[in-house]
Amino acid sequence: MTDIAIAAEGLRKTYRGVAALDGFRLSVAAGTVCGLLGPNGAGKTTAVRILATLLSFDDGHATVAGADVAGRPDLVRERIALTGQYSAVDGSLTGRQNLVLFGRLHHLGHRAARARADELLEQFDLTDAANRSATEYSGGMQRRLDLAASLIRAPQVLFLDEPTTGLDPRSRNQVWDTVRKLVADGTTVLLTTQYLDEADQLADRVCVVDTGRVVAEGTPDELKAAIGADRLEVVIREHDRLPDAVALLERIGPVEADPDTRRLRVAVTDRVAALVRAAQALRDAAITVDDLGVRRPTLDEAFLSLTGHRTEETR
């Protein structure tokens, strides 16, 4: 396997005259997490299905785990795993029975399948629930069982297609911890998500997908930095003191004011100096503040700046 685990160039896929992918490109280093961000219909799931050999493509070239997707799909399938948006476990079986079943489907003998199931139950903290029906599992436990089933053969590349959709915050954190452990052990992960905080938490690099192509890429911090500097934010308590506060903060830089929320924003380069200066000036003027701090641009703001719409919007 090369240092590049996933490579795609010029991928095109058309459905009934509509381009789902239009020159899609991607490069993912081995042992990292790449996050694909984009609104519904941007082409994320189509790209994953093509790279996982579940869907043909019209033009372009792609390799996964060192194997040509179009020329050697059999080799690709031997080296990857895919966890889709919806649980694939059988609710009528226990957690252990599900994993044994997947082991047998991977051509493991019965004894080897049971041994692998026990290893995965322990790895994913499901041993205590191993003999309970999967229907009794929480959403987070079912997703962890899904991930465990994907790892029967310890894939080189794991595709996660919106793995935490519909989960509560605690369950999402459990899935995130699981993904971090997999990457620490050398697995490459391609993650599609509409949750900006998920990409911020997990991804080494982010590719923003819109209308079937990658429109921006970089680390989360690089994408945030691309839309501008840090900003000083102040929320004034008394509405009638807004003009005074604006006059003070204009000594630091141009002020963006929102009268409805009494929030003022100023782009800054020296975070500490700007914060100290603003706090002292507001205090000397006896202007009461409800909030004062220096904020970095968010990944959500970067996405909005790059695409003109938010990830949850449907196209």
The domain defined by 230-296 folds into Alpha-Beta Plaits (3.30.70)
From residue 315, give the alpha-carbon distance in Å to each of 42, 210, 302, 308.
Answer: 7, 9, 19, 12
**Confidence tier at 2 by pLDDT (50, 70, 90):** low
- Per-residue pLDDT tens over the stretch 201-230: 899 999 989 889 998 899 988 887 766 668
Answer with the residue of higher pLDDT: 306 or 130.
130
Answer with the residue of higher pLDDT: 16 or 310.
16
**Cα 163 from Cα 259, distance rounded (Å):** 40
- Per-residue pLDDT tens over the stretch 34-68: 999 887 788 998 999 999 999 999 999 999 999 99
The domain defined by 4-225 folds into Rossmann fold (3.40.50)
| pLDDT given at position 83 | 87
**Confidence tier at 313 by pLDDT (50, 70, 90):** very low
**Confidence tier at 307 by pLDDT (50, 70, 90):** low
Answer with the residue of higher pLDDT: 196 or 69.
69
**Confidence tier at 190 by pLDDT (50, 70, 90):** very high
> Alpha helix (H) ranges present in the chain?
44-51, 73-79, 95-105, 110-123, 139-150, 169-184, 196-202, 220-225, 242-249, 271-284, 299-307
Percentage of residues in the chain with pLDDT exceeding 90?
A: 59
| pLDDT given at position 228 | 65
Over residues 177-192, mean pLDDT: 91
| pLDDT given at position 229 | 67
Q: Say whether 230-296 and 4-225 share the same fold.
A: no
| pLDDT given at position 308 | 61
| pLDDT given at position 153 | 85
| pLDDT given at position 216 | 87
Half-sphere exposure of residue 17: CA atoms within 13 angstroms, side-chain side: 0
Over residues 292-305, mean pLDDT: 76
Backbone dihedral angles phi then psi of residue 275, each to the nearest 5 degrees:
-65, -45
- Per-residue pLDDT tens over the stretch 66-114: 999 999 999 999 999 998 777 788 889 999 999 999 999 999 999 999 9
Over residues 243-265, mean pLDDT: 93
From residue 229, give the alpha-carbon distance in Å to each of 108, 208, 217, 291.
Answer: 55, 20, 18, 20
| pLDDT given at position 295 | 83
- Per-residue pLDDT tens over the stretch 144-178: 898 889 889 889 999 998 888 777 888 788 888 88
**Confidence tier at 315 by pLDDT (50, 70, 90):** very low
**Cα 40 from Cα 45, distance rounded (Å):** 9
Instruction: Report the DSSP beta bridge partners of residue 29.
Output: 4
Kind of pairing between the strands at 263-268 and 255-258? antiparallel
| pLDDT given at position 97 | 96
Answer with the residue of higher pLDDT: 39 or 14.
14
Enter the pTM of the model: 0.74
| pLDDT given at position 314 | 36
**Cα 157 from Cα 93, distance rounded (Å):** 27
The residue ranges of every structural domain in the chain are 4-225, 230-296
- Per-residue pLDDT tens over the stretch 133-147: 999 998 888 888 988
Mean pLDDT of the chain: 88
**Cα 286 from Cα 288, distance rounded (Å):** 6
